[in-house]
Chain A
């Protein structure tokens, strides 16, 4: 009963390095989201997707790119990591409507 799986769970990067966070869901949900969580600021939407092959910007998209080539996967990329991107990243998926978003366990990312 996997639901939403995020990979990796922890990562430390140096400023300027690039990396990709993977989100995989086995619920056949159309909608997927990437959030970042910082102390005192709740969850803020980075990018989202309303279906395979679509992506859109959220509240804080700068410095990130996403792709949704397959319905079950939503990738978040950092092209050139900056210390300001140190955060906990959550992926979520939903059927939509009155159904809740189901979250992965998060990825703790530190940029030195």
Chain B
């Protein structure tokens, strides 16, 4: 069965430093997508970045990049030059394309605290 694992319940990072949030996944499908969402203390879910299983290059969106290692089944989020506003909960999610339901399976999240 498909599963997303985020092993870091919480992390601290100094402002302006880079931080990596870990995500591993388990799937038997060849075609899938990986998503990262940010949830600030205000509660909304904000989409950050997407990586498809057939994408050859790692996805990047501004200060966010995805370190995709298919053989290891990992899709770590890298935030460069951390800002105080990056303090939030971060969720990794996976979508399998075989079932045509477009459902997402979420990890349990990592709470990031950016320190000044």
Chain A contacts to B: CB under 8 angstroms: 31, 33, 35, 40-45, 48, 50, 56, 58, 88, 90, 92, 94, 96-98, 100-103, 105-106
List 9 tightest A-B contacts by C-beta distance, closest first.
A103-B45, A100-B47, A42-B106, A96-B102, A43-B106, A42-B108, A31-B102, A105-B44, A106-B43
List the B side residues contacting A88 at CB < 8 Å. 43
Chain B contacts to A: CB under 8 angstroms: 4, 9, 33, 35, 37, 43-45, 47, 50, 52, 91, 93, 97, 100-104, 106-109
CA distance A105 to B43 in the complex (A): 7
Instruction: Say whether A90 contacts B45, CB under 8 Å.
Output: yes
CA distance A43 to B106 in the complex (A): 6
Identify which of B45, B108, B109 gathers the most chain A CB atoms within 10 Å of its CB.
B45
Shortest CB distance B51–A (Å):
9
